[in-house]
């Protein structure tokens, strides 16, 4: 199986009301890098690829058949507190304050301007999650 560089077996694809604002949040709030963009004849985003850490996410301007559909993503970071500050400064709203969790993560939650929830998580221990 061939996977393009920067993609994983599962790649999140967002349909959002304001793709420009969403991309700005991914870049400025979550530290992403825009990799590729294609636009529709009306200038709106048909598809954009943004690399965040080791993953690529895609997004399109929602309309017609594919309306906005919020989701939730789990984002691993080096420092959950700093990542949360950056996401809030870029227009995110607090869903859950950063705190140490019983499963070994320091984690908080933020909603982006499109109402997607990002669980910002710093793994504190170097062991698998236990069941």
For residue range 30-61, what is the model confidence (pLDDT) as tens digits? 999 999 999 999 999 999 999 999 999 999 99
Strands 117-123 and 105-111: antiparallel
For the chain, what is the largest distance between any 2 Cα atoms, rounded to a whole number of angstroms? 50
> What is the distance between the alpha carbons of residues 83 and 98, in angstroms, rounded to a whole number?
10
**pLDDT digit string, tens, across residues 77-93:** 999 999 999 999 999 99
Where do the structural domains in the chain lie, given as residue ranges?
A: 13-123
Q: Which of 96, 91, 4, 90 is nearest to 51 (CA)?
A: 4
pTM of the entire predicted model:
0.94
Average pLDDT (101-110) is 97
Strands 55-61 and 105-111: unpaired
- Class of domain 13-123 (CATH, top level): alpha beta
């Amino acid at each position: 199986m061939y996977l393009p560089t920067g993609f994983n077996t599962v790649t999140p694809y967002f349909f959002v009301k304001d793709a420009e604002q969403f991309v700005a949040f991914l870049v400025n709030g979550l530290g992403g890098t825009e990799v590729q963009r294609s636009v529709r004849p009306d200038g709106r985003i048909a598809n954009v690829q943004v690399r965040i850490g080791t993953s690529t996410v895609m997004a399109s301007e929602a309309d017609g058949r594919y309306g906005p559909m919020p989701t939730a993503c789990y984002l691993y970071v080096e420092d959950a507190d700093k990542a949360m500050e950056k996401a809030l400064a870029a227009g995110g709203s607090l869903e859950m304050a950063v705190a140490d969790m019983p499963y070994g993560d320091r984690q908080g939650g933020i909603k982006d301007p499109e109402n997607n929830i990002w669980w910002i998580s710093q793994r504190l221990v170097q062991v698998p999650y236990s069941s």
